[in-house]
Chain A
Amino acid sequence: MKKFLGYTGLVMLLVPVQTTLLPHVAIWDIKPDLGLVVAALVGVLAGELHGLIVGLAIGWILNLYSAGDLWLNLVTTGGAGLFAGLLARQVAEITPTILAVGLLFLSLAGGLVAVLNMKSATMADTWWMIQFVVVPQAFFDTAVGAGLLWFLEQRFAVPRFGMLDRYS
């Protein structure tokens, strides 16, 4: 119950942070996708099932405040939580660097799926979106995710996010 309330609070807080506060820190109109970062972090720290469920909830609620398609948000954010959990099982220790690599891959994959799905875009528009939206956002997500993990390590005095810490 405590975990459920925690996740609910987290998801609800994400909406104003993502839609109201993050546009202020946007660089060249690109802001990080905090929903994807949080879903991936939950997947890494609490397992793929939690990652998937929290990712789906984030994708659905953030979609209420986006002009995008619902299925795309569900698949990219839910998928990020799920695959982050699955990938985290393949490494012995989770460090900010490892998380950064994983997040870069997940953000690029999600962004490419979304951009290639845009119906009205020409080839030139698609290429422009990849160059100036998908790739910069992936690097932004990576930096924010690694920073958040580093902060969690410092704040909660968890020396290593090893297998036993995560799943015991």
Chain B
Amino acid sequence: MWMVNVRSPHGARRLALGMFALLLAALLLFPGQSQGLLDYLDGPVGQLVRLPLEAVSSLDQGISAMWQQYVSLQHVADENRRLKQEMDWLRGEINQLREAGSATQRLTSLLQFKEQALPAMVAAQVIGRDSSNRYRSVILNKGESDGIQKDMGVIIPAGVVGRVVKTTGATAVVLLLTDPNNAIAGLIQRTRDEGIVEGVPQGRAKLKYIPMLSALKEGDRVVTSGLVGGFPRGLAIGTITAIDREEGALFQTAELAPEVDLNRVEEVLVIQAPQSQSADQTARPDPGTKR
């Protein structure tokens, strides 16, 4: 019987090339099956890798916190002044919104609209960034065992962060809003025109497929439309910074500045409801679940 002698250079070379060719053939001919085979192992391996990952991440966060609290204090006074101005401005806006809110409440009860229920959310911490440079994603410290599934929306109070694209038992990968592979249904708040928000490689986002008759303008805010994907209606996505109206085109495209600074996201909320809201409406939330 012919056997490969892995100790000889030629035997090892033949074996390695054979294995690589076999792997390529398996991946190209049976992509689903070969991926499924490895998916079985993802869970236990993910749990194993979680230990060093969380250890290094907590060390990293500790050092970052120390740096921010004690060393990097140069711009604190300026920031403080700016934040105070912003707070005064926001106080005024809150008063206006209170008025608008009470009017909306009266009209809602008058028209007997059904109130939009707040979705169930799980809080998670960002413990890393995508292992490659080609995708814009972050890694969360919670996964399937915490009820996180693929396609769930991820937000912070300021706005949309992205969408879960991959999970292991202990972690989840969130594709950020600015990744070209991401697509979220968006709505221009002022004109109520819908479109699809996609990332661009340069790290911003664009709103595509806006009707040609839409009277959008720079500075318009774009929110989630709630029609598809894991997001309820009305979450902030970004602000329009430029509009592209090509002659003869069927749609307009607008450039967006994301509402959230995606390079500085540390804690996020994963929206569980759009997939399981109806089934779990009466179920008791998990201890880690916020409402």
Contact = CB atoms under 8 A, between A and B. Distances in A.
Interface string A1-36: 000000000001101111111011000011101010
B129 interface: yes
A89 B23 CA distance: 23
A149 to B, nearest CB: 21
Contact of A67 (B46, B55, B130): B130
A151 interface: no
Chain A interface mostly: helix
Contact of A49 (B15, B31, B46, B181): B15
Question: What bracket does the count of chain A residues touching chain B fall in?
Answer: 35 or more
A64 B23 contact: no
B92 interface: no
Interface residues of B, number: 54
Nearest to A11: B49
Interface in A101-148: 111, 114-115, 118, 120-121, 125, 128-129, 132-133, 137
Given A16-B57, A64-B46, A128-B202, A115 B139 contact: no
A143 to B, nearest CB: 15
Interface string A39-54: 0000000011101100
A33 B133 contact: yes
B131 A16 contact: no
B13 A16 contact: no
B52 to A, nearest CB: 5
A94 interface: no
A99 interface: no
Contacts of B203: 29
Contacts of B34: 71
Given A66-B132, A120-B180, A61 B49 contact: yes
Given A74-B27, A78-B23, A82-B17, A65 B131 contact: yes
B53 A20 contact: yes
A16 B139 CA distance: 11
B286 to A, nearest CB: 24
B255 interface: no
A18 B13 contact: no
B48 interface: yes
A96 interface: no
B268 interface: no
Most buried by B among A12, A29, A60, A65: A65
A56 interface: yes
B65 interface: no
B123 interface: no
Listed from nearest, the 8 A-B pairs whose CB atoms lie closest are A19-B128, A16-B56, A67-B135, A67-B137, A71-B27, A62-B131, A48-B16, A49-B12
7 contacts: A15-B52, A19-B53, A24-B60, A33-B132, A61-B45, A67-B136, A125-B200
